[in-house]
Amino acid sequence: MAWLTDSFLDGTSSVYLEELQRAWEADPNSVDESWDNFFRNFVGQASTSPGISGQTIQESMRLLLLVRAYQVNGHMKAKLDPLNLEERVIPEDLDPGLYGFSEADLDREFFLGVWRMSGFLSENRPVQTLRSILTRLEQAYCGSIGYEYMHIADREKCNWLRDKIETPTPTQYNRERREAIFDRLAWSSLFENFLATKWTSAKRFGLEGGETLIPGMKEMFDRASDLGVESIVMGMAHRGRLNVLGNVVRKPLRQIFCEFSGGLQPEEEVGLYTGTGDVKYHLGTSYDRPTRGGKRIHLSLVANPSHLEAVNPVVVGKTRAKQYYSNDVDRIKNMGVLIHGDGSFAGQGVVYETLHLSALPNYSTGGTIHIVLNNQVAFTTDPTSGRSSQYCTDVAKALDAPIFHVNGDDVEAVVHACELAAEWRQTFHSDVVVDLVCYRRFGHNEIDEPSFTQPKMYKVIRSHPSALEIYQKKLLESGDLAQEDIDKIHNKVTSILNEEFLASKEYIPKRRDWLSAYWTGFKSPEQLSRIRNTGVKPEILKNVGKAITTIPENFTPHRAVKRIYEQRAQMIETGEDIDWGFAEALAFATLLVEGNHVRLSGQDVERGTFSHRHAVVHDQTTGDKYCPLDHVIMNQDEEMFTVSNSSLSEFGVLGFELGYSMENPNSLIIWEAQFGDFANGAHVIFDNFLASGEAKWLRQTGLVVLLPHGYDGQGPEHSSARLERFLQMADDNPYVIPEMDPTLRKQIQECNLQIVNVTTPANFFHVLRRQLHREFRKPLIVMSPKNLLRSKACRSNLSEFDDVQGHPGFDKQGTRFKRLIKDQNDHSNVEEGIRRLVLCSGKVYYELDEHRTKVDAKDVAICRVEQLCPFPYDLVQRELNRYPNAEIVWCQEEPMNMGGYTYILPRLVSSVKAVGRGGFDDVKYVGRAPSAATATGFLKVHQKEQSEIAEKALQREPINFPY
C-alpha cells in the first residue's frame, strides 16, 4: 500500500490498512462492506455501491476527519449569541481545504459508511455530494445549537446523540406545535411585561432576554412525563424565578401578585406560625400540573437563599428521598432539575461537589438536568473575568455529561435542546446540561444600571427585538399563524393576568400552601406537642441487640472487628458496660423495628473516623461486605438502613442530607463530619438552611449533625466543632425564662435548633430516638465524643435504655433523654454543705470527676448540662436550689471566646436571678483564656492547660472571676 505514505496518515493507520487489505484479499466478506468498496475501487473492480467516482482511501479518511471535526468543534462555529457580540475564532479544522478538498470536489459523490457508527457515518446512509454533506453538517452542528459530546468515552452514548443530531433532515415542528410553543412564550413574555408595568421599581429579577426558558422547560417536562417521570424537584436562583413559579409550577398568579403588593402574613389558623418570611424570589412551592400528553406531573421548587448554587445538593438529596419513598428503584419516576447562572456555575465550588455525587451509589438520582440561564454577564463581571474556560459549562465535562449550547432567541432550538435533554436523562440516567445563551435586558435587578459597566452590550440590547417578537415574525412569514391568531393569544394572556391581579387584592395566603402530604398532622412551633418516652421494652432491646451483633458463620471479619462484635454480644447478654458505638447501633435498630428509615452519611462513617462504629464489616478473604443493621427485621428493604461513606465534601453532602431529610418526617437522617472542625466548610447550609429554614420558609427538618468535638491534644484543627457558632445561631431569648411545666412546655418547638453535648451512651440513644418520637421536627446538633468512645468510665447499663419502672433513667415521666445529669454522689434535695456547684458539658466532666476523686473534694457538686440549647432552666434552677450555699461555676475546656460560655452565661444569670442567688458577678468561669486558635499545637502545653482547668475548678479557695 505504498500509495498511502502521505503525511496525513501516521504509521499506525497505514499498518492497520495494510492488515485490512490482506484480510480483504483473502476473503472480501471478512471486512466491513465500506472497506470492501474501497478496496474494489483500488484494484479496479466494480464497486457494490453505485456512484462513487474514483473515491480514494485517502479521501475517505480525510472526509471522516472532516466529519469528526464538525462533531468535535462544530459548536465553535454555531450561532449561539443572540446579541452577536461574541467574537469567536472558527477552528481551521472546519475548513474542507485543510483536508485537500476544493471547489471542484463539491459536486462529487462520496460514501461515508463506518462500521458501528451512527448519524452521518452510519453504513445505511446514501451516497451524497460533498456539498450536501457539508450543508447538513453546518445545519446540524453550526446552527442555533452547539453540541459538545465528543468528550464522552462511551461509543453507545455518542452514537445515540449522533442519531438525534445528524438526522437526514433538520427537525421541523408542525403548525399545532408551533402555536403551543408561541402560546407558552407569550405567557413568559407578557408575565414579565405585566409585572414591569404594575410594579415599576420593584426588584423581581425578571426573565427579560431569556424568556424562552419557560417554553423550553414546559416542553422538557412534557417530554419527561411521556417518558415516565411523575415528579420533578427544581432548584434555581432568583433570575426568572417568579416566571417559573407562575408559568411552569403554576403557583397561583394572584398569590404572586399579592406578595408583590407587600404580602400579607398567612391568615389565622390553629397554631399559627408565620415565621419571619422571605423575599418573594426566594420562596418555593409545589403543585401538580397537567402535561401536553394528558398526564399529571408533580413539580416542586425548593426554597433557597441568595447564596448562589447552594440549593443544588438540597434538590438532589430531596430527589433521592422521593425515589426511596416511592420505591423508584430505577430512578425514572423522580427527577431533579437545576437552573444555574453562568457566573455561578463556573465560579461556585458546590456545583462541582454536587456533580460529583451524581454517580455515587447512595447519592445518585439517575441524572440531573442542568439548565444554565447564561446572561453572558454575572452582575457586572464579564465572562473573561469570571472564568478561565471557554464555556461556563466546562466543569460538567468532568462527568461525561453532554452539553447543548443553544441560542436563547431561537425558541424552537431551545425547545429541541430541552426535549433532547429529557430524552438523554431517561435513556442514560446521567446528568446533562442545556446552556441557554441569552442576555439580561435590564441590570442585575430592575433598578440597577448596567451601562456603567457593559455600555456596548446594553447599546445593542436596547434595540434588540424580544424572542416573542422574533418568533411572531417567523410564524407570520411562514404562514403558521395569522395576525388574528396572535392577537387572540395576546388578549387571552393579558385578560387572565388582569383578572388575577384584581383577585390578588382579596387574596389571603394559607400557611400550609406547600407542605407535602407526609407532613400532615405535624405541629407548628405554636401548637403544643406532648413529650414522649424513648425507652424500649427489654425484650425488643435483647432481640435487636442479638440481631445486630450476629455475623454470618461463613464470614471472616478482621480479628479486631470480630472482637468488637463479640464484646457487643456480651454487653447484650450481661446488660452491662454498653459503649457509645453500640448504643448508637441500638438506637438505629430500635427505630428500624418501629418502621422508620435510618440514613447515616459522611466521610468514613461506615467504619467511623475513630474506628468505633464498624457498621459495615469486611470479609478479610473475599472482600465481601456485611451490614448487620440491614438484617434487623424480616425481608428488610436494603435501603431502609443506609450507612454510606460520602465523597470528601462537606457543603455538598450536608446539603444533600438536608434535602433528603425534608421529604419525609419518619426518618432519622444523619450527617457526620470527619472531625467537627471541618464542618465550617458547610456553613452556608448551617446558616441559611438549617438554622433559619423553618422561620423563613415554614419548612421543618429533623436532620441530625454529629460533630466530633473535644480537647485531647490533637491541635487546632482536630479539637473543636466550634460549638459557639451553633449556639450563636439559636433564637431563644436569654433574658426570658419560657414556660417549663412539662405539660405546657413548647421550649424546643419554639427554638430553631437543639444543641447537645452528651456524656453517656444511654443519653445518646435517647436523644437520637427523641428526634422521631415527637409531633414536630427540629434539627439536632451533637458535639459527639472522640476519646469517650473507648473510655471505661463512659458506659451505660442496658436498664437505662428500657422502659421498666424503677430502672435507672426511669423517672416520674418514664425513660427519656436527660437534658441535665445531676451529680452522681446521691445528693438529697437540699445539700447545704456543698461549697461549689460546677456546671459543665461534654467530656470535661470525666476529667473533673477523676480529679475530684483524686483530691477527695466531696463538697463540690458537678452537674452536666447535656442539652445546651434550648437551655434547661427548670433543671438548672432545681440544682441551684439543691445547693443553696454553693459557689456557681461554669467550667469548659474551650477558650473563653469559644465553647458554651457566651451562650450559657446570660441564661445561667437569668436562672440565678430567678431563684434569688445574685446576678452576673455570682457566675464564675473556669476554662482556657480567650484565644485566636481553637487549641494549642503542643501536646505538653495542652496537658498542662487541661490539668489546670480541673485543678482550678476543684481548688479549695473561692474562684476569683472575672476580676
pLDDT band at 474 (very low <50, low <70, confident <90, very high): very high
**Is pLDDT at 204 greater than 50 in this prediction?**
yes
689 — pLDDT class (breaks 50, 70, 90): very high
pLDDT at 625 over 90: yes
Asked if pLDDT for residue 835 goes beyond 90, the answer is yes
**Where in 180-312 does DSSP place strands (E)?**
231-236, 285-290, 296-301
How is residue 641 written as a grid cell?
Answer: 438502613
pLDDT of 874: 94
Can you tell me the mean pLDDT for 611-625?
Answer: 96
Q: Measure the CA–CA gap between 671 and 604, rounded to whole angstroms.
A: 11
Please give the Cα distance from 241 to 358 (Å, whole number): 25
Alpha-carbon span 174 to 171, nearest angstrom: 10
Residue 9: the pLDDT is 47
Res 49: pLDDT = 45
Is a pLDDT exceeding 50 seen at residue 153? Answer: yes
At 870, the pLDDT band (50, 70, 90 cuts) reads very high
Report residue 108 as a C-alpha cell: 462529487
Distance separating alpha carbons of residues 433 and 234, to the nearest angstrom: 14
Higher pLDDT, 170 or 5: 170
Predicted local confidence at residue 517, as pLDDT = 58
Distance CA 368, CA 337 (A): 6
Structure-block grid coordinates of residue 97: 481545504
- Identify the band that residue 513 occupies on the pLDDT scale cut at 50, 70 and 90: very low
What DSSP state is assigned to residue 690?
I
Of 340-349, 355-364, 517-526, 611-620, least confident by mean pLDDT is: 517-526
Please check whether residue 919 is in contact with residue 912, taking contact to mean a CB–CB distance below 8 angstroms.
Answer: yes
Higher pLDDT, 522 or 872: 872
Confidence of residue 51 (pLDDT cuts 50, 70, 90): very low
Contacts 24+ apart (CB under 8 A), 491-498: 493/186, 493/187, 493/190, 493/191, 494/190, 494/194, 496/253, 497/190, 497/191, 497/194, 497/253
Residue 71 has pLDDT above 60, yes or no: yes
Report the distance separating Cα 332 and Cα 190, nearest Å.
34
Taking the C-alpha atoms of residue 403 and residue 357, their distance in angstroms, rounded to an integer, is 18
What mean pLDDT comes out for the span 865-882? 96
Which of 437-451, 525-539, 687-701, 749-763 has the highest average model confidence (pLDDT)? 749-763
C-alpha cell at 389: 474556560
Q: How many CB atoms lie within 10 A of CB 116?
A: 11
- If one compares 8 and 314, the residue with the highest pLDDT of the two is 314
Tell me whether residue 132 is exposed, middle or buried, using C-beta atoms within 10 angstroms of its C-beta: 0 to 12, 13 to 18, 19 or more: middle
Residue 120 pLDDT level (bands cut at 50, 70, 90): confident
Q: Among 15-19, 267-271, 919-923, name the most confident range.
A: 919-923
> In terms of pTM, does the model score above 0.85?
yes
The answer to whether 490 and 235 have CB atoms below 8 angstroms apart is no
Q: For 778-789, how does the pLDDT look when each residue is reduced to its tens digit (9 = 90+)?
A: 999 999 999 999
Question: What phi, psi does 331 have (nearest 5°)?
Answer: 60, 45
Q: Which three cell numbers, joined as nine digits, stand for 364?
A: 445518585
3-state class (DSSP) for residue 646: coil
Other residues' Cβ atoms within 10 Å of the Cβ of residue 712: 17
In which element (H, E) is residue 780 found? strand 780-784
Determine the pLDDT at residue 364.
97
Confidence of residue 873 (pLDDT cuts 50, 70, 90): very high
- Which position has the higher pLDDT, 39 or 111? 111
Rg of the chain over Cα atoms, rounded to whole angstroms, equals 34
Report the alpha-carbon angle 178-488-490, nearest 5. Answer: 80
What is the C-alpha separation between 120 and 138, in angstroms, rounded? 12
Whether residue 819 is predicted with pLDDT greater than 80 in this model: the reply is yes
5 pLDDT higher than 50 = no
Residue located via cell numbers 450481661: 574
Note the pLDDT of residue 12. 54
Tell me the mean pLDDT in the region 403-411. Answer: 98
Which stretches within 479-579 are classed as H helix?
Answer: 483-504, 538-547, 559-574
Residue 147: strand pairing partners: 404
CA distance 665 to 519: 7
Max CA-CA distance within the chain?
Answer: 117
The answer, yes or no, to whether residue 808 has pLDDT greater than 90, is no
How far apart CA 781 and CA 835 sit, in angstroms, is: 33
pLDDT attached to residue 285: 82
Query: Which amino acid belongs to residue 669?
Result: I
The average pLDDT across 215-230 equals 96
Q: In whole angstroms, what is the distance from residue 499 CA to residue 497 CA?
A: 6
**Is residue 724 over pLDDT 90?**
yes
Read off the pLDDT band of 53 (50, 70, 90): low
Taking only the tens place, the pLDDT of each residue in 900-951 is 999 999 999 999 999 999 899 999 999 999 999 999 999 999 999 999 999 9
Give the model's pLDDT for residue 812: 60
pLDDT at 271: 47
Least confident piece of the model among 39-43, 184-188, 571-575, 845-849: 39-43
Weakest-pLDDT range from 290-294, 324-328, 604-608, 654-658: 290-294
- Any bridge partners for residue 129, and if so which? 109
pLDDT band at 522 (very low <50, low <70, confident <90, very high): confident
In sequence order, what DSSP letters do the residues of 950-962 get, joined into one string?
HHHHT-SSPP---
**Closest residue by Cα to residue 650 from 323, 305, 302, 357:** 357
Closest listed residue to residue 374, CA positions, set 437, 417, 433: 437
